[in-house]
Amino acid sequence: MIRPFRPEVDYPALAELLSADGPVTVTAAGLREQDAALPGADDLSTDHRGRLTGHGRVRLVQPGPSGDLLAYATAWRAPWAPPGDLASLVVSAPGRAPAWLLPLYDGLEQWARGAGASRLLGELPDGTGETGRTHGTCPSDLTGLLLGRGYRVDAHVRSAVAAVGPHLPAPQAPPGLHLATLATTTAPEPERQLHHLYRETLRDNPGFADALPAFGPWRAEALAGPGGRADWVFTAESLGRIVGTTVVHAVPDPRACRIDYTGVLRPWRGRGLARALKLHAARHLVGHGVRTAHTEVEAGNVPMVAVNAALGYRWGPGHRRLVKEF
C-alpha cells in the first residue's frame, strides 16, 4: 500500500528510515526544521513554451505494520531547475526486494505527468547487495527493472578519497596566475566572480544535469551552507579575475573534508591549474588538521579523473543518474 506522507505522524519513522540508509543520523526535529524553511504551498506553472516551472513536490510512503516506514519516495522541483525537470529520491528499508519499490516509482511518475513535467531524474547507487539510497537490496536488479520501464542511465558519478599530508608537492601556479582564498583575495566582487565561474564551468561537466541557481540561493549552498568557510574557498587569479577555484566544505569529522567543486575557465585549461588548486587546498587544509579528502567525479570527466588519480585518490562506489522522459 502507498499513501501520501503525513507530516503530523510520519517524521519520527522517516528519520529512522533515513538514518538507516546513510552515515548521518537524521532526527524528526531536523526534518521538521528543513520543511519549515521551504515554501508552504506548491507554486507550479508553465513558461511561454509550455514547460513546467515554479516549485513543488510530492511525498509518498509505504507504511509498515507497526507505524514504521518500509520505503519513502519524493519528487520535487526547485525554482531554478531547468524548465520541465523534476528531481526524485526513493529510499527503502534493508532487505526490500526491488519489485516492491516499483509502485512508488509509478506514484512519482503519475504526479510528474500530472504536473506537466518533461523528465524525472533520480539516482541509484553502484554495487550489489548493498543498502543505500533508492533501495535496500540490489541496485543492479532495480536498475534493470527501471531500464525496462523507460528509464536511461544519464551519468555515472564516482566517489574518491585521498590522504592529505606533507607528502604532497607544493603547489605551482602557472605563469601569470597567483593562488589565494576567498578570505584573502583582493579581486573585485569575488563571490559574484565565483558564481559566474560556476555557471561557465558547469556547462562542461557531464555529471551536471541541473541549472545553476541565482546568486542568492547558490551562495547560501556553495559558500555559506553547512561546512562552508571563506578560507576554504581556494582561487586562482589573473589581474583581479578569478579563473579557477576549488571549494572545500568541512564535515563533522575534523580530520576530514569534502572537495565540493573544482572548476577552471576554458581559456586557462590545459596548464595544470586544477592540479595546482587542489595542491594549494591540500597544503592549507593540513594546517587545519585535515588528513583525508573526499570528493565525487563524473566518470566521463576525463581531465578531472586524471587529476585526482595523479594526486592519489582511490576510487570508491558512486551512483548512476537515471532519467525518465515524458
The string of DSSP letters for 139-204 reads HHHHHHHHHTTTEEEEEEEEEEEEE-STTSPPP-PPTT-EEEETTT--SSSHHHHHHHHHHHHHTT
Please give the pLDDT value at position 207.
Answer: 67
Please give the pLDDT value at position 137.
Answer: 44
Contact 115/56 with Cβ under 8 angstroms?
yes
pLDDT beneath 50: ranges in the chain: 128-137
Are both 3-149 and 162-318 of the same fold? yes
Please give the pLDDT value at position 143.
Answer: 87
Please give the pLDDT value at position 23.
Answer: 66
The Cα-based distances of 255 to 181, 182, 196, 250, 294 in angstroms read 20, 22, 31, 9, 11
Please give the pLDDT value at position 127.
Answer: 58
- CATH fold label, 3-149: Aminopeptidase (3.40.630)
The single-letter code of the amino acid at 275 is: R
Place of cell 573526499: 294
- What architecture does CATH give domain 162-318? 3-Layer(aba) Sandwich (3.40)
Q: Which three cell numbers stand for residue 124?
A: 541509484
Q: What is the DSSP string of 229-280?
A: -GGGEEEEEETTEEEEEEEEEE-SSTTEEEEEEEEE-GGGTTSSHHHHHHHH
Contact 257/248 with Cβ under 8 angstroms?
yes
Give domain limits for the chain: 3-149, 162-318
